[in-house]
Amino acid sequence: MKRREFISKSALIGLSPRIDLRNTFSNLYKEENGNTYPNHILDIRSVIKFSVIIQKIEILENVGNRFIVVTSKDGIQGITVLNFRMEFLLPILQKLIQPFFIGKDARDVEQILETIAHDRGVYKYSGIPLFNCIGQIEIAVMDLLGKTAGIPTSDFFGKRIRNEIQMYVSSLTRESSPEEEVTNLQKQLAETGAKAVKVKVGGRMRRKADAAPGRSENLIRLLRKTFGDGLTIYADANSSFDLQEGLKMAGILEENGISIFEEPCYWEDYASNQKIAASLKTMKLAGGEQDTSYLRWRDIAQNKVYHVLQPDLYYNGGMLRAFYVEKLAIANGLRLAPHSPKDDPLAAPFFQLASVSPILEGYQEFPGGKKKYPDWYYPHFDIENGFIKVPTGPGLGLEYDYSIFKNAKIINS
């Protein structure tokens, strides 16, 4: 499709004069004081002076995707794509979480999230299944608020300090041999201009077993031999090792100049991951993509389980909760690299966060090489010379061919 000019309906209903949003977040970087839930960090009512009542929330299916569409009484829509895990979670989203938002003022999104967190009918479902559902709605609501205000969603959280994000190309497979992996990465680097890669080591939740005998060590050594010292390399274990094997692999990675080692031990084995982090001399440990508990995030940050925190924008419950993790990282001298191995509309909230975070660590994840994108949304996340431009439009910055929603199937759990 041709790029469509987006005209915000907010121009028709009137906004207060534009204010300097950065002046409203004086508490953003203060260390938490032991609360079970973080202090609020937004002041949306000072930006949008009128109510933004959520009239309906729909799940629509078309063009091979499911979308969550949040519509205000003024007819403005916030949209995001459902990730693939939502296939099994729709009853939680539609029957348990959605009622907390219907009829509420979207400007009070932080209070809504806090109400959900302390509801006695909700907390028993806690974990990714719950917070992924919350995140899907919250991200659509933040898109709605940005469109209502006529500003990028990132503006609610701070000053945009980067307009493009430097990416690494990520291999998502363990099925390839070291030689096949190197050949594949050579192609992807040539296509994208990226200056960094991430590869998979270990066997992913296999309790010390490598994906193939000797694959991890041989792959790391071949990567460094092939690309030399000029290439930045990250390695992701996906909870592959126990402490002993994790320490051994960490040593091999450091010997070969690897920059980041991700989730070496089982993701809930914080003691073992912390010991590996403490053992490192030149490499950083990263993790957290499965974590959802705010109090657990606080403990991870305070105990330095990882050097780099990796909240997932959806699994962890949305943009606000990712910024809560950023707040904890800042208070404890850590870095942030949000988990977002996406190249489609699901990547949009990540780029909003990455554009404003002062503690973004290194390169960010891009799955594979050059892509051919569909024409039902714009802009596409094209990687050029190793960078992807942050969308500049209102909300999450994406424009849709709205005919896909008019012709969509309505999905009920």
Task: Give Cα 118 to chain centroid, integer Å.
Answer: 24
- On whether the CB atoms of residues 331 and 31 are closer than 8 A, the answer is yes
Strand duo 77-81 + 232-236: pairing: unpaired
Alpha-carbon gap, residue 77 to 57, rounded angstroms = 9
Q: What is the DSSP letter of 32?
A: P
Q: Which residue type, as a one-letter code, is found at position 180?
A: E
pLDDT, tens only, 165-192: 999 999 888 888 999 999 999 999 999 9
Ranges 85-94, 108-117, 168-177, 343-352: which has the least confidence: 168-177
Which residues is 378 bridged to in the sheet? 399
pLDDT of residue 20: 41
Q: Record the tokens describing residue 261, joined without a space.
A: 């080692």
- On whether the CB atoms of residues 123 and 117 are closer than 8 A, the answer is yes
Q: What are the Cα distances from residue 349, in Å, to 7, 136, 224, 240, 390? A: 21, 11, 33, 29, 10
pLDDT of residue 204: 82
Q: Kindly tell me if the per-residue pLDDT of 393 is higher than 90.
A: yes
pLDDT, tens only, 214-272: 899 999 999 999 999 999 999 999 999 999 999 999 999 999 999 999 999 999 999 99
Q: Which residue has the tokens 């657990």?
A: 296
pLDDT, tens only, 101-136: 999 999 999 999 999 999 999 999 999 999 999 999
Q: Which residue type, as a one-letter code, is found at position 242?
A: D
Q: Which residue type, as a one-letter code, is found at position 181?
A: E
Q: Which residue type, as a one-letter code, is found at position 141?
A: V
3-state class (DSSP) for residue 399? strand
- On whether the CB atoms of residues 232 and 259 are closer than 8 A, the answer is yes
* Upstream peptide bond of 311 is cis (omega within 30 degrees of 0): no
Q: Which residue has the tokens 């959280």?
A: 157
Q: Record the tokens describing residue 272, joined without a space.
A: 């073992």
Residue 107 main-chain phi, psi, to 5 deg: -65, -20
